[in-house]
Amino acid sequence: MPDNPVERSRRIIARREGPLLVEGPVEVVLEDGTTVSSERFCVALCTCRRSRIFPWCDTSHRRHARAACPDADR
């Protein structure tokens, strides 16, 4: 398979939980017609719809514990 990303299929890693991982760079067209782009080697696209920086993942999909050890937070 050629190494040039233009000539090969772009790999997307999908799991039930967590973001879609897409090899960068990418352009994402949003519903209002605006385009956001990232040159990162890999981007994490939000699938839970809770991200405050949508379409990028900000880890908002994580579970929240009711009474966790306070030391676990930093």
CA-to-CA separations, 56 to 3, 4, 31, 34, 71, in angstroms, rounded = 26, 25, 14, 14, 28
CA-to-CA separations, 24 to 12, 19, 55, 69, in angstroms, rounded = 10, 14, 14, 37
Nearer Cβ to another protein (7/63): 63
Q: How far apart are CA 12 and CA 52, in angstroms?
A: 22
State in angstroms the smallest separation of the CB of 47 from another protein.
12
Q: Report the interface residues with another protein, using CB under 8 A.
A: 13, 18-19, 21, 39-44, 52-53, 56-59, 62-74
Nearer Cβ to another protein (8/62): 62
State in angstroms the smallest separation of the CB of 60 from another protein.
8
State in angstroms the smallest separation of the CB of 32 from another protein.
20
